[in-house]
């Protein structure tokens, strides 16, 4: 599982940051917070999309469960 740095930070400071998650082509769960989702949305779509650079961390499923619970379960995109 891959999460943005803000979601990882939420484990320490307990600040709710929202949660957007999806499965990548390899079946890994990927997730980011409201702030990162807004940046992605503002970057456009298709070939004109601005490349995004997020700092991400890898988490095991056991460590991701508290992130998901703290950030309200999240929206799952398929």
- State the residue range of the domain holding 12: 2-77
pLDDT per residue over 22-78, tens digit each?
Answer: 888 898 888 999 998 888 888 877 777 766 677 889 999 899 999 989 987 666 665
Count of domains for the chain: 1
Count other C-beta atoms under 10 Å from residue 13's C-beta.
Answer: 7
pLDDT of residue 75: 64
Closest by alpha carbon to 49, among 58, 63, 59, 39? Answer: 39
Instruction: Please give the Cα distance from 66 to 68 (Å, whole number).
Output: 5
Report the 10 Å Cβ neighbour count for 8: 19
Return the SS3 of 15.
coil
């Amino acid at each position: 599982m891959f999460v943005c740095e803000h979601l990882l930070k939420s484990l320490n400071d307990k600040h709710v940051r929202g949660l957007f998650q999806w499965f990548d082509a390899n079946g890994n769960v990927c997730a980011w917070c409201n702030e990162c989702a807004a940046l992605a949305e503002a970057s456009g779509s298709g070939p004109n999309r601005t490349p995004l650079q997020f700092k991400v961390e890898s988490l095991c499923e056991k460590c991701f469960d508290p992130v998901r619970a703290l950030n309200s379960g999240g929206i799952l995109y398929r």
